Structure 1
Amino acid sequence: MNEQDLRRLLTVSVEDVLPSQPAAAGWERARRTRRTRRVVGVIAVAVVLVGGGTVAALRPPADPTPAPPVGPTVTPTVDNSHAGPVQKPPTELTYPPDPLARLGDPATVPLSERPAKRALALFQPLNEEYQANGPVRVLGDDGVVRSLDVVTLAPTRDASGNEAPALKPGMLSPDGRSAAFAQTKELVMVDLTTAAVRRIPLDGYLEQVVWAHDRWLVGGDDRTYAVDRVTGAVSTIDVSTWELIAPDPAAGREAPLLDIYGERTSLTLRSRTARKGELRSEQPVNASRLPSPYQVNEFYGRGWLHGERLARAAWITSSEIDGAEGATVLDARTGTVLHLLDLGRERGKGCCEVLGWDNRGAVLLRLEPAALARWDPETGKITGIVRDLRGVFTLAG
């Protein structure tokens, strides 16, 4: 078929097309359709190419070449708890800014003139003979250090005449609004927000005070009193304030009380009812997570609950000596020793009492050469708070 025959054929084929549907419109629609298909085709090819390139990029080469590290390599300066339950402090402590660092400052105003809205800590300066060396300091959450001038505290003593500073860990309420001090034959309660003093007569030589929910537990050698913080009502409770673990402030008033007694393989964690101190359960302290030869010989000082964890100072068997100083964190449900801070053999006996927890889950403790330090048992990081401050601390929960 030549060109002339083709043209005649096309002429005949369009003779029946209605004027309302011209062939030009049909060709235009066909042109737009082809153009759309070309665009779609281009996009599809691009997607295939990009997708194929991505797969090829993600597929490792047959002989991979190590990529250079991005940024500097950081070498940890402290032991990490993931490497094992035993940790050690760094040789040199750092002292980042901390509200508790003001404990080293002298008092600038008496409590009676400027009560605190909330106390962060109390501090009793001591001399070299371990005797009171000035009034108790009250560090408020406003950063002001006050002197406790509304009461004169005598040293506590037992029936044999042995004396100790009046201030001890556990005597400041977790909300920082009140403090209670054991004195011979009485409990002295101080409202730090008003500077008001209240005295509760009690019998005997009293030395220890522990806040427990809505009560102060006050004890000496042979008995423990429970004193209601609001009404001042007094009852007795079958617990020892020497071994009692300070409860978690977030726990309810019916939460059980815990204590630990014994030595070495006979160390036992006990649970008691909150109101009467009746024995609920007891189980051995389990140190099986510690690598040999590490063991806990004996706990000392106040213990502190934080959720399901318990922190307390201890004398330990380490890789160097039997009788080293240490601090521990236990599972309060099972008695398992989770973390142990090995403080070594070159420290004074009983140097490193645990003083509580902060709100981030770090343990606060005495630590030479720092007077107060913060230990995060999950990371092993230890930082100083107050340097070389001789005295006794009690912290709010």
Structure 2
Amino acid sequence: MNEPHLTRLLTRAAEDVRPTRPATAGWERAGRVRRARRAAGAAAVAVALIGGGTTALLHRAGPPAPAHPVVRPSASPVRQPPPVLDLIDDPLGRLGDRVAAPLSVRPVDRALALRQPVDPKTGEAGPVRVLGDDGLVRELDVVTLAPTRDASGNETAPLKPGSLSPDGRTAAFAQVGEVVVVDLTRAAVRRYPLAGYLEHVVWAGDRLLVGDNDTAYEVDRGSGKARKLPVDPRGLVVPEPARPGDLLTLGGAEDGLSVRRFPAAGGAPQQLPVGTGGLPPGYRLDEVYGRGWQRGDRIAQAGWTTTGSMGGAEGVAVVDARTGAVSHLLDLGREDRAKACCEVLGWSADGAVLFRADPTALARWRPETGEVDRVARDVTGPVSLPAS
């Protein structure tokens, strides 16, 4: 059917049946109109089907539409924080609040953090404080803790970064000749005798690891017995609670930094040198300090860096425990910063690194984006957060 024929059919189909004409003629005329309308409709449908089918076939048979992938610029592995950090709303922001109650009167369901204030003028440490998940600060009044000290008499505050258990329900403190464990939910104290100038405390899941200058122990909290571990207590990385089997250490300086993995099943440790080949030219991680924290296959730890031609700068690094590669580095410089200013305190639940930004502030760094924010201020003295 050609186009003129279809036009005539549609024209006739549009005519009205006039009721004033004789009935017979009108009936015949109406019949012709109805037949014309049906023919025109069928022709229109056929044309539409043929045209649509042809379009569909052409669409399927033709070349695919050009793809336009979204290009996201890759974040630099080295970032610098802004000169002034924005203060975000975070539960840790209440760490600097005043004490609301003693722990013996008001135990916690779960602690978000521990803090031991230190007088900036005298250097004297006060009682340990407990920030509960209800936002209130308690004073740890059920035990009097002495400073830890080594054989030479050097003293430091008893609160360590690894003192708080991952579930926030228990705190452990190394003391000379013993380990003190406090149930924060019941304000109950238990002591475990262990000879030595004990200084280090680390929770590996629910396992309690303590150490002196060069020996690490695992303390069985049921029996009180301790067994030696073949790891360096100073370089011991706080394990991720969900995978505390193998133990990792990160350390070394003269022979270069290395990650060492001590299999839970025993056997010789595996050692990987720390490499910075993925960083821009001139950037290097020279030494680490403080405690390293594991999350998945990554270790976050503070250290001293070389940035371009300048050495001795402060920084926070993320190291791949599988390869030893430094994947991200937060360049904190060295101007207006005390040496070993910026100890890493752990990972947040959403994958940010928490660290000491300056003498009285805590900050959060997201390695993937480079974003750095302040989460707490007016916080003096050591802080312990639970591993997450």
**TM norm structure 2:** 0.82
Amino acid at match of 1:263: A
How far did residue 39 of structure 1 move? 4.4
CA change 1:326–1:126 in 2 (3 A) is same
How far did residue 121 of structure 1 move? 0.3
Matches of 1:106 and 1:45 in 2, distance apart?
81
Aligned residue among 33, 47, 52 for 2:38: 33
Matches of 1:37 and 1:130 in 2, distance apart?
99
Deviations 1:63-114 (A, max 9, x none): xxxxxxxxxxxxxxxxx99242111001111011100000010111111111
Deviations 1:27-66 (A, max 9, x none): 6874453142254267569969x99xx9xxxx99xxxxxx
Matches of 1:165 and 1:207 in 2, distance apart?
10
Deviations 1:301-351 (A, max 9, x none): 100000111100010001352100000001111110000110001111000
How far did residue 367 of structure 1 move? 0.6
How far did residue 229 of structure 1 move? 3.8
CA change 1:184–1:117 in 2 (3 A) is same
Q: Does 1:159 align with 2:151?
A: yes
SS for the counterpart of 1:36 is: helix
Indicate if the aligned counterparts of 2:252 and 2:287 stay in contact, CA closer than 8 A. Answer: yes
2:367 matched residue in structure 1: 377
Indicate if the aligned counterparts of 1:157 and 1:207 stay in contact, CA closer than 8 A. Answer: yes
Matches of 1:229 and 1:32 in 2, distance apart?
94
Indicate if the aligned counterparts of 1:154 and 1:166 stay in contact, CA closer than 8 A. Answer: yes
2:338 matched residue in structure 1: 348
2:77 matched residue in structure 1: 85
Indicate if the aligned counterparts of 1:112 and 1:195 stay in contact, CA closer than 8 A. Answer: yes
Amino acid at match of 1:318: T
Deviations 1:214-243 (A, max 9, x none): 321111123222112444332221212210
1:205 matched residue in structure 2: 197
Q: Does 1:301 align with 2:290?
A: yes
Q: Does 1:123 align with 2:121?
A: no
Amino acid at match of 1:135: P
Amino acid at match of 2:169: R
Unaligned runs of 5+ in 1: 1-22, 61-79
How far did residue 176 of structure 1 move? 0.3
Cα RMSD, aligned residues only = 2.9
Aligned 1:305-344 pairs, distance under 5 A: 305-319=294-308, 321-344=310-333
CA change 1:43–1:230 in 2 (3 A) is farther
Unaligned runs of 5+ in 2: 1-27, 60-64, 67-71
How far did residue 24 of structure 1 move? 9.8
Deviations 1:280-318 (A, max 9, x none): 211111111111211111011100000111100010001
Matches of 2:239 and 2:298 in 1, distance apart?
11
2:256 matched residue in structure 1: 266
How far did residue 259 of structure 1 move? 0.6
Aligned residue among 362, 366, 369 for 2:356: 366
Matches of 1:317 and 1:203 in 2, distance apart?
40
Indicate if the aligned counterparts of 2:166 and 2:205 stay in contact, CA closer than 8 A. Answer: no
Indicate if the aligned counterparts of 2:125 and 2:157 stay in contact, CA closer than 8 A. Answer: no
Matches of 1:206 and 1:333 in 2, distance apart?
31
1:391 matched residue in structure 2: 381
CA change 1:87–1:358 in 2 (3 A) is same
SS for the counterpart of 1:82 is: coil
Indicate if the aligned counterparts of 2:78 and 2:331 stay in contact, CA closer than 8 A. Answer: yes
1:279 matched residue in structure 2: 268
Matches of 1:316 and 1:350 in 2, distance apart?
12
Indicate if the aligned counterparts of 2:208 and 2:220 stay in contact, CA closer than 8 A. Answer: yes
CA change 1:84–1:204 in 2 (3 A) is same
Indicate if the aligned counterparts of 2:359 and 2:380 stay in contact, CA closer than 8 A. Answer: no
How far did residue 279 of structure 1 move? 3.3
SS for the counterpart of 2:134 is: coil
How far did residue 274 of structure 1 move? 3.0
Q: Does 1:234 align with 2:239?
A: no
How far did residue 133 of structure 1 move? 3.8
Indicate if the aligned counterparts of 2:211 and 2:217 stay in contact, CA closer than 8 A. Answer: yes
Indicate the percent of aligned positions where both proteins have the same amino acid.
Answer: 53
